[in-house]
Amino acid sequence: MGDLVIGKIINTTIVSWKIDINSAYTATLHASTVLDRSFNPLKDDIRRHFEVGDIIAAEITAFNRTRDPVLSLKGRGLGKLRRGRIIEIIPAKVPRLIGRKGSMINLIKNETNCRLIIGQNGRVWMSGKTLEIELLIERLIRKIEKEAHTSGLTDRVKELIQEEMKNLEVS
């Protein structure tokens, strides 16, 4: 519990949303946790907040094998993700993408001036200033995923970013 995930709204009920979190389980986001005021399902239409197809960053607050995961949007950076792109990686590679003490993700963010959210479910949301930068970030993430087991990866990624960013400035 407490894992950050990136999910896609796949269904709406009168009191909640069903979320695809790239898992065998479908997660639930209760309307009462999203709306700050008292929620009345007879008066309030929750579709005004999220629609099927919307992408969200959320935290898992409850889960056991007898019940689907329950999500929350209470927390910094959580909520609906606008613009940007999503890619999926193998969830086991997420720690390498983040890096020791956040070193790899911070390297990518700082060198490309982009926003990145990495879900523990293997989904990565990115938003760069241009499509070219987002495509570069995707190539970097694929490289990290493929070469996660090799040494010197951070240095190779840094060199590649600097080289590619120079090329983008020239274009």
Q: Of the ranges 36-40, 51-55, 72-76, 96-100, which one carries the lowest mean pLDDT score?
A: 36-40
The CATH number that domain 4-80 falls under is 2.40.50.140
pLDDT digit string (tens) for 66-92? 888 999 999 888 999 999 999 999 999
Contacts 24+ apart (CB under 8 A), 103-110: 103/154, 104/144, 104/153, 104/154, 104/157, 107/154, 107/157, 107/158, 107/161, 108/137, 108/140, 108/141, 108/157, 108/161
Q: What is the pLDDT of residue 92?
A: 95
Domain ranges of the chain: 4-80, 85-170
Fold type of domain 85-170: Ribosomal Protein S8; Chain: A, domain 1 (3.30.1370)
Query: What pTM value is reported for the model?
Result: 0.88
